Structure formats: C-alpha cells, structure tokens
Amino acid sequence: MIRGFYTIMAAQFFSSLADSALLFVAIDLLAAMHAPPSLIPLLKLSFVLFYVLLAPFVGAFADSMLKGRVMFIANLIKIFGCGLVFTGIHPLLAYAVVGFGAAVYSPAKYGILTELLPPEKLVVANGWIEGLTVLSIILGTAFGGALVSPMGGAWLVGLHLPVIQNIIATPSQASLAVLIGVYILAAIFNLGVPDTGARYDHQERNPTRLIADFANCSATLWKDKLGQISLAVTTLFWGAGATLQLIVIKWAERSLKMPLDKSSFLIGTFALGVAAGAAAAAKIIPLKKSLTVIPLGVVMGLVVTSMTLVHSVTVAVPLLMIIGLLSGFFVVPMNALLQHRGHVLMSAGHSIAVQNFNENLSILTMLAVYAIMLTLNLDLNIIIVLFGCMLAGLMHMIGRRHAANQREHDSLALIGEHKH
C-alpha cells in the first residue's frame, strides 16, 4: 500500500509539473503571435473545457479498467497535444487536447485513493497529494518561467541535439520538447501504479444512459447534506484559484513591473503557501472537523482585495504566501470530505467526475467573466476587488447553508459512514 501510494505521488508530481510549466510556454507562444490579451484566459478555458464536456463519460472510463492504465493513457494524450504544436496547430487547440488528457487523468488520480486507503486516512493522503501537487506547481512555474526566458530558450536551441534538431526551430518548440520528456517520465511511473483489487460492475457505454447516470450521480451528491457543502466549497475554490493565477500574472505586470518569466516566481510563492496550508490541515484537521475551516474562505477573499494596495515585490511575496496558506488549509479537508461522501454514495470514478464537472464549470464561468472584463478594459484593481468580495460573499453563504442543514439534522454524524 505504501509503495503504491508513493508511485501514485511520483506519477502525479511529474504530470502536474509539466501541466504547470506548459501554461507559461503556451502564453509565450501567444505572445510570439502578438495575440490579444483576452486570449490568455481563453487559453486556460480551453484546457478545462473537456473536464466539463467529458464529465458524464470519464468516470465510467476510469472505473472500467485499472486506474494506473487510465493514467497512462491520459499522459499519452497529453504528449500528443504537445506534439500538435510542431504541426502548426494553434496553441489554443493544442492546449485543449492536453486538457482532454487531464480530464481523463483526474478521476483515476483521485479515485484510486479511495480504493487504496480507508476513510480516516483520506485527509492525510489528500494533504500529501495536494502538498506534492502544489510543490510540482511551484517547481513547474519556475521551470516554465526558465523555459520562456530569453536565456533559457536560447540555451535549448543551441544544444543542437541529434535527430530532433531538424524539428525544433524555435525556443518555444524546444521548451515543448522538454515538457514532452517530462510527460513520458510520468507515463513510466503510471505503469508502476498497483492494482488495488477494486472492481466495478460492467460500465455502461451508451452515451445517453451515461449522461442520465451522471445526472443522477450529480443530483445525489448535491442533495446530500455533506456532499453539497463540500462540493460547493471546492467548486468555488478551483474556479477562484484558476482565475487568481491569471490575475496575479497580470497584476505582476501592471503593479510590480515584472515580465512573464519573473511573474512565475509569484505564482510559485502562492503555491508554496498552499502547500504549507495543506500540510498543516493534514496534521491538525481530522475528517470529523473538516467543516470548521469554512470561515477561512471568507478571510481569504477579503485578503485578496488588499492586493490593490501593493506595489512592491517585498510586500507582494508574503501577501501571496498568506493567501496560499489560507487556501490550502481550508480546501484539503473539504476535498477529503467530498471524496469520502462520493465513495459512500457511488463509485470512486463517478464521484470524482461529478466533482470535476462542477469545479471546472466554475473555472469556465469565472475565466469567461475575467476575459470579458479584460475586453472591456476594466481597471485591474476593480477586477481584484470584485473578485475578492465575490469570493468572501459566496463562502459566507455556504457557511450559512451548512448552519441551516445542521439545525435540521446532524449531518456531521454521516462522516465515517460505510459505503452504501
């Protein structure tokens, strides 16, 4: 069990590392094409699009075979997406294909935890997975920043490696070739992911029935008194997190006068805070106490608005660290609770697919709104204030909903319940 968990973590680390670095390489590709600024949020939007479109199907696919095999196939899709750029495909389309692979990967990545570990270990396991994922984001953003820097790109092109030197003509293509190598490494670790012994009934293949089954699973999770709260929190968090990542890049450019390769340092700082918060939550917060962290989401939203007052890197670094710390501390227990309720009420793959659908629909919505704001040339400080207040307000509403649920019935008693 321990060896299998470490193998899963290694595979997740390298796949996430490449995903994080790829965003900066893709942004650099758009900059080289002199694309309008509104295309940058659309780039992220294209990545998460398949999380929403494929949600009714990827859960059944993840449960139809060994999770390690599913993860291996998903990494092959990511490699194919990176390779499309070499054929002249637009970066938006190529990045969308990588998102397709990520959408296939996710139900298997998280679903295998509920197969491998008992419920009481899920918060700790999620703390490790989220902490390692955030570490990969830190290193991935730094890696991506190094790849798109003038010195890094020139060094890669100057290597003149045999066989591939005729294919690679630009620094961006050289960066993509490096990331393909990282995805290949992740795929190799996928081959070592153990068989947990979990087997599910024959999975439906009829698209209409799959959509109906997915709708039923989604309704089940939203009606559950614990599921609806944890799903609402994680849905809001991931939508806000994806948008905040792009806001920080623009904020670094406008307020701190930092270029793209340097702004990756700030994203890494935020991610470091998330890792610290995730590790602290894994150590301090048991599954039974997971809902006590909801007020931290309100605090996080209010702290985000203070970004408008910062114009110095020395102040920006600790501020982003604090925002990340609050984020990691409240999302890890909620994510573990959601996984637990999903496993109790339905299969692992299906519950993660429902989670992915809602979380990425939130990402699509927030990124679309952010793209519209940029198109309208809305002042960045106004965007930041609106974003922070919205986050704090919605988290407060979720907290009130949980309090109302508790007045009707002690939903906390459901934590630890055996699978139905």
Rounded CA separation 4/192 (Å): 8
- Cβ density class 336-345: b for 16+ within 10 Å, e for less: bbbbbbbbbb
Q: Supply the pLDDT for residue 80.
A: 93
Rounded CA separation 34/29 (Å): 9
- Cβ density class 191-212: b for 16+ within 10 Å, e for less: eebbebebeeeebeeeeeebee
| Cβ neighbours for 322, distance < 8 A, ≥ 6 positions apart | 273, 303
Q: Supply the pLDDT for residue 163.
A: 47
Structure tokens at 405: 């649920």
Q: Each residue's pLDDT tens digit in the chain (420 positions)?
A: 566 677 888 888 898 889 888 888 888 888 878 877 778 788 878 888 888 888 777 766 777 777 778 889 989 999 999 888 888 788 889 889 998 998 888 777 766 766 666 666 766 776 677 667 777 877 887 788 788 777 665 666 555 555 455 566 677 777 888 888 899 998 998 888 776 666 666 666 677 887 888 888 889 888 888 888 888 888 888 888 888 888 888 888 888 888 776 777 787 788 788 878 877 887 787 777 777 788 888 898 999 999 999 888 889 999 999 998 888 887 778 877 887 777 778 766 677 778 878 888 898 888 888 888 888 888 999 999 999 999 899 989 988 888 888 888 776 666 666 665
Q: Supply the pLDDT for residue 110.
A: 67
Nearest Cα to Cα of residue 249 among 19, 27, 95: 27
Q: Supply the pLDDT for residue 382.
A: 92
Q: Supply the pLDDT for residue 79.
A: 92
Q: Supply the pLDDT for residue 156.
A: 63
Count CA atoms closer than 13 A to 139's CA, side-chain side: 13
Structure tokens at 202: 């024959």
| Cβ neighbours for 104, distance < 8 A, ≥ 6 positions apart | 54, 58, 61, 62, 70, 73, 74, 77
